[in-house]
C-alpha cells in the first residue's frame, strides 16, 4: 500500500513538473518573441530610410498578428472604442441621424424621431455640405459621424442642401444621449399574430422584448409571435440569454460556453418566469443572422419551444471577450465556443486550418454529427441553424438592384415629398405615382444593361477575336437587337417589385421607419409564411414532432 502511495505521489509530482515546465517554456517563448518584436519595431521606426509613423506601424504589426486567427479577434482603439460602447450600452451622444452615400454625396437617410435633428427639421434626402464650418468632402460617412457625435448638451452646426431650396440651410443642433433601440418594430403580421423585429443585442434588448410582448398582448388576443432575427449580426451573449428567458420554461438550458481550459465552462439557464410561456413562436433567420441571433434560434429549436423559418443562418459559434488595454485601447478576443442546449456547436468555419488554395476548412454534411432536441428531433452541428421550414426570400431582378444601387427610389421620394409636403393620412400608392416614377427615370437618363445583353456583348467580342464568320456574328447582333426591343418593357415586367419598394420608401418619408416596416410586412413572404404556420395548429405541432 505504501509502495502504491509512493508511486502515485511520484507520478503526480512528475505530472506537475511537466506542467510547470510546459508553462515555463510558454512564458520563455513569449518573452523571447516580445523581445524580438520590440527590437524589430524599434529598429524600423528609428533607422528605416523613410520616416515611419510609429502608431500606424505598430497597428499594422498588431493587425498582422491577429489576421492569423479568426476575424472576430481584433485590436480596438480610437473610434473603434465608440462602436464597442454603442454595442454594450446601446447609446451615444449625437443628434439622431442616419447617414449614407446617395448620388455621390453624404446624405441624411433618416432622422430619428424624437431627437434634435428630427425636431428641428432635418429631412431624409438632405445633403450635408458643412459641419461646424468644415466643408464635407469625399464619401466617407465617418467624416461626418466623428464631427456630429459628442458630449450630450453641446451644439453642432450643420449646413445642408435640400431639393427645392435655392440656398443652403443651416441648423444648430443640440447633441443628446441617443438611445439606440434593439427592437426596430412591433406590430402584427396577421390578425392575432404579433411581429417583433430585433435589430441588435445590446444591454436593453431583453427589456425591450418584454415590453413588445406586453404591447402585443394589450392590443390583441395573441395567437402567436413572429420574432424576426434576419440580418441581425448579434451582440451580447447575456442579451440573447435574456431574450430566450422571455419564452422558454424556467430552469431550461439556453447555452453553454467552453474555453480552452477545462474549468472554463459556463451554462446559462432561464432564471425567471417567462412572459410568453405558452404562445407559439416562429423565429425568422437568414444567412446574415449570426452569433447572438443563432444562440436564440438554437435554443428555441433545441428546446422545441418554437419553429425556425427562413434560410440557414450564418454559422458563428464563437464567443468574444473585450479586454481593456493601456492608452485608451482594448482587444476583442475569442475566448470560447458556445453550444446549444442539445450540445451542438454551430460554428461553420475552422479559421485555424486552410486548404492548399488558402480557403478555410469546413466540415462536409456527411461528417456532421446529429444531436437531439428535447422531443427527439434530429438537428446537426457545424453549419449554422437550419430552419424547420425553409422559405427563401423574394429574388429581385437585376433591374431592381440597379435602381437601388443608383438610389433612384430614394431620389424620387425626395422629389415627390418636395411637391407633396403634406398628405392626408398614410400614403397610398397608385398608378399615377408609378407613371410619374417611370417618367422620372427617363428624365434622369437612367440606363440599365441587361445581364443577357452584357453576356452577348462579351460573346461577340470573343467570336471576333477567334475569327468567326460574319454570319455567326450577325446572329449575335440580331439577339442583341431583340433584347433592346424587350428592354422597353422592363419597367412593366418588374412593376410589382418596383411598386413595393417605392411604396415603402414614400411611406417612410411620411410615417418614419416604423411605417416602412409596417408596409413591407404585407408582401414579406417569409413573415407571412411564418404567420400562416402559427395559425395552423396542426402544422405547427407537427413540425415540433420527431420525423418517423
* Cβ–Cβ < 8 Å for 453, 461: no
| Phi–psi pair at 21, nearest 5 degrees | -65, -40
Strands 307-310 and 389-390: parallel
Per-position DSSP letters for 105-146, written without gaps between them: EEEEEEEPTTSHHHHTT--TTPEEEEETTEEP-SS-THHHHH
Secondary structure class of 324 (helix, strand, coil): strand
Cα-flanking dihedrals φ and ψ of residue 254, to 5°? -105, -50
- Report CA torsion sign: 442, 445, 451, 454: positive
Q: Which grid coordinates are listed for 184?
A: 426596430
Give this prediction's pTM: 0.87
Rg of the chain over Cα atoms, rounded to whole angstroms, equals 29
The C-alpha cell at 542 is: 407537427
* Most distant pair of Cα atoms in the chain: their distance: 100
What distance in Å separates the CA atoms of residue 295 and residue 505, rounded to the nearest whole number? 32
- The CA distance from 244 to 211, in Å, is 14
Give the whole-angstrom CA distance, residue 529 versus residue 524.
9
Return the pLDDT at 2. Answer: 54
What does the pLDDT read at residue 144?
84
Gap between the Cα atoms of 373 and 313, Å rounded: 18
8 A C-beta contact, residue 297 and residue 289:
yes
Active site residues: 291, 302, 316
DSSP SS3 for 202: coil
Per-residue pLDDT tens listing for the chain (548 residues): 555 555 555 555 555 555 556 556 778 889 899 999 999 999 999 999 999 999 999 999 999 999 999 999 999 886 666 667 666 777 788 999 999 888 788 999 999 888 999 999 999 999 999 999 999 877 788 778 888 988 899 999 999 999 989 899 999 999 999 888 999 999 999 999 999 999 999 999 999 999 999 999 999 999 999 999 999 999 999 999 999 999 999 999 999 999 987 668 999 999 999 999 999 999 999 999 999 999 999 999 999 999 999 999 999 999 999 898 988 889 999 999 999 999 999 999 999 888 777 788 888 888 999 999 999 999 999 999 999 999 999 899 999 999 998 999 999 999 999 999 999 888 999 999 999 999 999 999 998 888 888 889 899 999 999 999 999 999 998 888 888 778 889 999 999 999 999 999 999 999 999 999 999 999 999 999 999 999 999 999 999 999 87
What's the CATH class of domain 91-179? mainly beta
What does the chain come to in residues?
548
User: In this structure, which CATH number among 3.30.450.70, 3.40.50.300, 3.90.226.10, 3.40.50.970 belongs to the domain 184-392?
Assistant: 3.90.226.10
- What pLDDT is stored for residue 369 in this prediction? 95
Report pLDDT for 73.
94
Contact, 160 vs 169, CB < 8 A? yes
CA distance 459 to 481: 15
C-beta separation of 279 from 273 below 8 A? no
Rounded CA-CA distance 331/321 in Å is: 8
φ, ψ at 232 (rounded to 5°): -95, 110
Signed CA dihedral, 302, 305, 307, 310: sign only: negative
Torsion of Cα atoms, 500 then 501 then 502 then 507, to 10° = 80
Amino acid at each position: 500500500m505504501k509502495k502504491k502511495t509512493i508511486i502515485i505521489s511520484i507520478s503526480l509530482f512528475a505530472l506537475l513538473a511537466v506542467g510547470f515546465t510546459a508553462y515555463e517554456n510558454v512564458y520563455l517563448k513569449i518573452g523571447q518573441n516580445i523581445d524580438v518584436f520590440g527590437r524589430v519595431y524599434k529598429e524600423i521606426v528609428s533607422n528605416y530610410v523613410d520616416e515611419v509613423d510609429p502608431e500606424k506601424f505598430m497597428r499594422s504589426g498588431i493587425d498582422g498578428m491577429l489576421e492569423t486567427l479568426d476575424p472576430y479577434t481584433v485590436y480596438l482603439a480610437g473610434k473603434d472604442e465608440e462602436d464597442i460602447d454603442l454595442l454594450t450600452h446601446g447609446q451615444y451622444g449625437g443628434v439622431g441621424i442616419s447617414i449614407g452615400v446617395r448620388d455621390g454625396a453624404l446624405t441624411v437617410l433618416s432622422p430619428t424621431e424624437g431627437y434634435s435633428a428630427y425636431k428641428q427639421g432635418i429631412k431624409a434626402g438632405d445633403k450635408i455640405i458643412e459641419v461646424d464650418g468644415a466643408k464635407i468632402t469625399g464619401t466617407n460617412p465617418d467624416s461626418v459621424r466623428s464631427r456630429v457625435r459628442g458630449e450630450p448638451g453641446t451644439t453642432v452646426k450643420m449646413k445642408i442642401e435640400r431639393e427645392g431650396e435655392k440656398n443652403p440651410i443651416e441648423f444648430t443642433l443640440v447633441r443628446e444621449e441617443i438611445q439606440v433601440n434593439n427592437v426596430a418594430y412591433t406590430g402584427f403580421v396577421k390578425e392575432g399574430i404579433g411581429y417583433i423585429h430585433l435589430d441588435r443585442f445590446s444591454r436593453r434588448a431583453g427589456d425591450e422584448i418584454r415590453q413588445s410582448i406586453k404591447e402585443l398582448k394589450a392590443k390583441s388576443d395573441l395567437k402567436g409571435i413572429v420574432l424576426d432575427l434576419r440580418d441581425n449580426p448579434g451582440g451580447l451573449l447575456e442579451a440573447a440569454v435574456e431574450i430566450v428567458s422571455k419564452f422558454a420554461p424556467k430552469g431550461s438550458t439556453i447555452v453553454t460556453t467552453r474555453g480552452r481550459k477545462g474549468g472554463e465552462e459556463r451554462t446559462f439557464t432561464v432564471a425567471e418566469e417567462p412572459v410568453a410561456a405558452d404562445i407559439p413562436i416562429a423565429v425568422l433567420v437568414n444567412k446574415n443572422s449570426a452569433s447572438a441571433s443563432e444562440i436564440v434560434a438554437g435554443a428555441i429549436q433545441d428546446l422545441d419551444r418554437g419553429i425556425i423559418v427562413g434560410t440557414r443562418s450564418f454559422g458563428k459559434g464563437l464567443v468574444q471577450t473585450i479586454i481593456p488595454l493601456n492608452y485608451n485601447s482594448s482587444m476583442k478576443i475569442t475566448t470560447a465556443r458556445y453550444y446549444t442546449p442539445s450540445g451542438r456547436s454551430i460554428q461553420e468555419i475552422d479559421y485555424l486550418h486552410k486548404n492548399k488554395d488558402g480557403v478555410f476548412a469546413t466540415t462536409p454534411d456527411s461528417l456532421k454529427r446529429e444531436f437531439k432536441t428535447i422531443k427527439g428531433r434530429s438537428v446537426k452541428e457545424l453549419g449554422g441553424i437550419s430552419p424547420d421550414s425553409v422559405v427563401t426570400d423574394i429574388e429581385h431582378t437585376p433591374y431592381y438592384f440597379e435602381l437601388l444601387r443608383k438610389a433612384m427610389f430614394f431620389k424620387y421620394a425626395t422629389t415627390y415629398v418636395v411637391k407633396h409636403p403634406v398628405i392626408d393620412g398614410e400614403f397610398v400608392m397608385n398608378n399615377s405615382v408609378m407613371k410619374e416614377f417611370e417618367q422620372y427615370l427617363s428624365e434622369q437618363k437612367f440606363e440599365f444593361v441587361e445581364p443577357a445583353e452584357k453576356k452577348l456583348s462579351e460573346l461577340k467580342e470573343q467570336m471576333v477575336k477567334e475569327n468567326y464568320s460574319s454570319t455567326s456574328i450577325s446572329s449575335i447582333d440580331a439577339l442583341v437587337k431583340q433584347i433592346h426591343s424587350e428592354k422597353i418593357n422592363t419597367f412593366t415586367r418588374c412593376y410589382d417589385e418596383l411598386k413595393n419598394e417605392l411604396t415603402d420608401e414614400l411611406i417612410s418619408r411620411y410615417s418614419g421607419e416604423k411605417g416602412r416596416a409596417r408596409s413591407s410586412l404585407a408582401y414579406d413572404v417569409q413573415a407571412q409564411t411564418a404567420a400562416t404556420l402559427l395559425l395552423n395548429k396542426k402544422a405547427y405541432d407537427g413540425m415540433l414532432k420527431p420525423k418517423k
